[in-house]
Structure 1
Amino acid sequence: MPLDYSVIEIFTNEEARCQGKSLGTAVVDYIRGLKIAARCIVTRGIGGVFENGEVATQSVLVLSYNMPLKIEIILPSAALDVVLPEVEQMVCEGIVAVRTMRVQSHKTERRLLPRHFRVKDVMTPSPKSVTPSTSLKEVAELLMSSIFTGAPVVDKDNRPIGIITQGDLIYRAGMPVRLGLLAVSDQGKVTSVLKSLAPKQTREAMTSPAVSISEDAPATEAVNLMVQKQVKRLPVVDKHGKLSGMLSRLDIFRTVMQESPNWETFRGQNIQVNNLRVVADIMRRDTVAVPAETPVEEVLRVIDKNDIQRVAVVDQDKTFLGLISDRDLLTAFTDYHPGIWDYFISWMPFSERGRAKKGLNLHLRLRTAAEVMRTKLITVREDTPIEDAIRLMTEKALKRLPVLDADGKFKGMISRDALLRSGFGYPESNIRLLSESGDQ
C-alpha cells in the first residue's frame, strides 16, 4: 500500500547560516528534535553557479569554498504543514521547493540510544569525588544526600583509582543497613552508624582498580561495559586520564527519554519498526509473591532467605494487591516496637532474632502482609513498550516495577539492570558470549 509522503528540497550554499550554525547543521538539528518519521539528507555539490553570477568550482586555479548545498527532508505529508513554515523561516539564502513522493514502504530500526552519542553527551559532569583518605563517615553522608549510591575515588591528580559504593560500605566496612533504610531511621541510629564508620578510610573498603571509560567513547560502548562488568556506574575520564564525569544508568535512561521518538506512533503510520520490545521480553518471572494473609514474621523470613528487598502481595487468584519492602517494614514497626531495628542490623537469621525478642516476634506474627503493604503503586502491563517503562522508572525514581497481565494478575518485576540489557548496545546473547570467553 503506497504511503503519502512529501519532500522538502532546499537549494543553498555552504555559507548559508541560521542562528550561527551552517544551514545544513541547523536543519538536521531541527528535524532530529521533532522526533517524527522524517529523514534528512545534506549533500554538497562539486560545482555550480548561483543567480548572482557567482561560480562555484573545485578547479585548482579558481578554488571556491562556497559550494552548492542541497538539503532534502522526506516526511509523511501529514507533518508537512507543521515543518514547512519553520524550514522556510530558517532559510535566509536559497530556494525552498516541495514535491510529493510515492513511498511503497518505510522501514526503520528502533534504537534506544542513537549511535552518534558519546559518553560526554550523556554523563553527569564534574561529579563529587573522594580520596583514599576520606573517612567512610564522610562517604556515607555524601551518598545519603545523593541520588546515587556510589562515588569515584581519585588520586592527588584527580585520576580515578577506584569506586566506593553502598555495597562496599555494607560488605567491607560493616555498615549494618542500606543507605535507604538508614535515611529513614531515627537520628540516634544514624549517628551511631556514622560514628562506627568514622575511624575507617575509603582505601579500606573501596573497589579498585576503577572500571572507567573515555568521555569520547560511544555511549553504546559504555553500556556494554557496564553490562559486562556488572557495574551500575562508570567514572569518565578526559584525554589526560583525569575524572571529568560519572555515567550511571539514570544518565542513560534520561537520554532515552529525551531522544527516543514514539515508536508506537510510527507503527500507527504504517511504518515498519524492527526490534520493538515490550516489558514481557525482559521481566523476571521468578519474583517472590506472598498471599495477603501472610504474617509479617513470614514476610521477613522470605526477604531474608531470598536476599531481596521487596515482595509482592497477591490474593488467592494471584491478583496483584501491593508491595512490601524492607523500608516499609522498618518504618511500619519502629513506632510499635523499637526492636525492629535489630532485625535489620543483626547478622543472625530472622528466625533466631525472633526468638531473642519474643514480644516483637508475637507482634510480627499477629500483623499480616495486607496491613503493611503499599497499595498506591505504579505498575505496567506485559505489553508495555520498554521505552514507556524507562520513562516511568526515570521520572518516578523507581528501581523496579511490578508487571501485571490484562486481568491485573502479578506476572513479575522489571529492574533497571534488565532495562539496560534490553537493547542499548550488543544483543544480550553477544554480551553473554563475551563474558564467558573472558574478553572483558
Structure 2
Amino acid sequence: MASESNIHRVRIYLNRADQWEGGARYLAILEQLRRSGATGATALHGLVGFGPNQGMGSALAERNDANHPIVIEWLDRIETVRRLLPTLRELLGNDLVTVEKVPIFQATLRTRGPFSGDRGVSDVMRHPPPGVTADTRLEVALAKMARDKIGALPVVTAEWQMVGLLSNRDLAWRAQLRLAPKLLAQLTPAERGEVLADVAQTPVSQVMSADAGSVGLNTAIPQALASMVEWGYPQIPVVDKQGRVVGMLGQNEVLRELLNQANEAESEQVREVGKPTPVHLVMQAAVHQVAISQDLNVALARLLASPERQILVVDDDGRLVGQLSALTALKGLAGEDRAAFLKALCAERPPAASVLPGKQRSFKAILEPNPPTIGPQDRLVDAARSLIEYDVELVAVVNEDSQLLGIIARGGLIRALIQQSE
C-alpha cells in the first residue's frame, strides 16, 4: 500500500525542437539536474499535443516534425525540489512546470546530508532564551550558566537587545576563572567563595565579549553550525530582525534535530543509495587515557591535561574499563587530596604528576565504570544518540573485544555534520 511521504513529482512540458546553447534544451535540463544532485529524471516523448499557441506537434503523423512534445518527469524529496527548481529558471523559460505530492509504495533515493530539510534555526532553537543584563554580578551569571547547563550566556538590555556574550572562554581570559560553571556548582560554599573571591562582584560587562556574533531566525542549520564552530562557542544566540535575542542554538539542539530527522527517515518507505558514514571515519584516534594500573597522581595529571577534563581508563591490554572526569574526581576526593586537586584545577597550567596527591595509591575508588560506547561501524546518528542519552561530552569507540579505538566528541561530531551538509 502506498504511504504518505515528502516525495514530489515535477513535470516540465516543452518541445523537442527547443534549443539551448546549440543542443536540445530537454537534455540540458536533465544534465543540470544530474549535476546538481537530483535523484533521477526521465524525458518522455509525447505522441501528439498542443500548447497555448494551438500549434499541433505529432510524433506519429509527422515523423519529420521536430516540434513534437517532450515531458520531463523528476521525482525527489520536496527539499531537493525547492533547492534545485529555482536554479533551472533560465533554462525553463516560459515552460509549464507542475509540482505535486505523490504517494510512494517504495523508492530508492540519492543519499542526503543531515539537516537538508525545510527546518531552520527557528524550528530547533531553545526558547525562551537565558539572559542577564550587563550590570549583573558575575557570581549570579555563573550560577545561571550552571543551572541552565550552558557554556555561553547572552547579555541583553531590558528589551532583550543583545549587547554581548559571556562564555567559558571569556571567564578564562578576562576573569582568570578556569573552572567551568558546572564544576563551580559542585563546590562547597566555602570553596566557591575562595575561588570567586576576586571576581564574584565584578559586573558581567567587564568580562563579556561585546562583539560576539549571532544568527538570525531564518538561518539554515548548517550555516549556523559553521558559525558556531568558527566562533568557538558551544551555543550561539538567535536574534530577530530587531536584534532581540529570541533563542539559543547549541550542540544539544542540533544533535536532537539529527535524531528527529533520522527517526523520520526510518519511518519512510524510501531507501537511500549508499551507506551512512561510519563512526571510524570521523572518530578521533588520539585519546587522552590512562591505565588502571597507574597511581592516582598520574591519573589526575592526565585528567588535568585533557581539554575536556575527562579521560578514559583502560587495562594493560587496552580494553576500556571506565572513565575519569573532573566532576567525579571532585566528588570522590576528600580532605587534602580534594584541596590539592581543586588548586590544580584553578591553576593556569596543569602541574606535573609529582606534585599531585596519590603517589603509590590506586584511583579505582573514583573511577566511573561502564562509560557509553559505540562500535567503529556504527552510524554518526548512533553517536549522537549516545551523547544525548547519557548527557556526556564524548563517547568511546571500541571493537568487539572492548579495546579502545578512539572517541567521538560533541565538537568533532558537529564538524563532521557540517562537512556532510556542504
| TM-score after normalising by structure 1 | 0.69
Cα deviation code 1:53-99 (max 9, x no counterpart): xxxxx9xxxxxxxxx996520123xxxxxxxxxxxxxxxxxxxxxxx
Distance 1:308 1:399, change over 3 A: closer
The aligned counterpart of 1:274 is: 274
The aligned counterpart of 2:406 is: 412
Distance 1:298 1:121, change over 3 A: same
The code of the aligned residue for 1:384 comes to: D
Residue 402 of structure 2 is aligned to residue 401 of structure 1: no
Select 2:175's aligned residue among 166, 173, 176.
Answer: 173
Residue 41 of structure 2 is aligned to residue 41 of structure 1: no
Distance 1:346 1:7, change over 3 A: closer
The aligned counterpart of 1:391 is: 385
Q: How does 1:253-272 map to 2 (within 5 A)?
A: 253-261=255-263, 271-272=271-272
The aligned counterpart of 1:144 is: 146
Cα deviation code 1:356-408 (max 9, x no counterpart): xxxx73xx113224443211321111111111111121122111111101221
What is the deviation of 1:213? 0.9
The code of the aligned residue for 1:121 comes to: D
| SS across alignment from 2:191 | helix
Q: How does 1:349-388 map to 2 (within 5 A)?
A: 349-351=350-352, 355=355, 361=357, 364-388=358-382
What is the deviation of 1:336? 6.8
The code of the aligned residue for 2:219 comes to: A
Percent identical pairs in the alignment equals 21
Structure-2 separation of matches of 1:347 and 1:234: 27
Structure-1 separation of matches of 2:349 and 2:262: 47
Distance 1:262 1:274, change over 3 A: farther
Q: Is the 8 A contact 1:289 1:311 kept in 2?
A: yes
The aligned counterpart of 2:234 is: 232
Q: Is the 8 A contact 2:332 2:365 kept in 1?
A: no
The aligned counterpart of 1:54 is: none
What is the deviation of 1:108? 2.8
Q: Is the 8 A contact 2:143 2:181 kept in 1?
A: no
Structure-2 separation of matches of 1:414 and 1:69: 41
The aligned counterpart of 1:73 is: 103
| SS across alignment from 1:210 | coil
| SS across alignment from 2:330 | helix
Cα deviation code 1:230-275 (max 9, x no counterpart): 3222111112221111111111111122222377898xx9944336
The aligned counterpart of 1:22 is: none
Q: Is the 8 A contact 1:152 1:164 kept in 2?
A: yes
Structure-2 separation of matches of 1:181 and 1:321: 24
The aligned counterpart of 1:251 is: 253
The aligned counterpart of 1:162 is: 164
Q: Is the 8 A contact 1:155 1:161 kept in 2?
A: yes
Structure-1 separation of matches of 2:267 and 2:126: 31
What residue ranges of structure 1 are gaps of 5+ in the alignment?
Answer: 1-5, 9-30, 32-37, 45-57, 59-67, 77-104, 431-440
Q: Is the 8 A contact 2:372 2:395 kept in 1?
A: yes
How many correspondences in the alignment?
338
Q: Is the 8 A contact 1:263 1:273 kept in 2?
A: no
What residue ranges of structure 2 are gaps of 5+ in the alignment?
Answer: 12-51, 53-97
What is the deviation of 1:129? 0.9
The code of the aligned residue for 1:177 comes to: L
Give runs of ≥4 in structure 1 deviating > 6 Å.
Answer: 262-266
The aligned counterpart of 1:293 is: 293
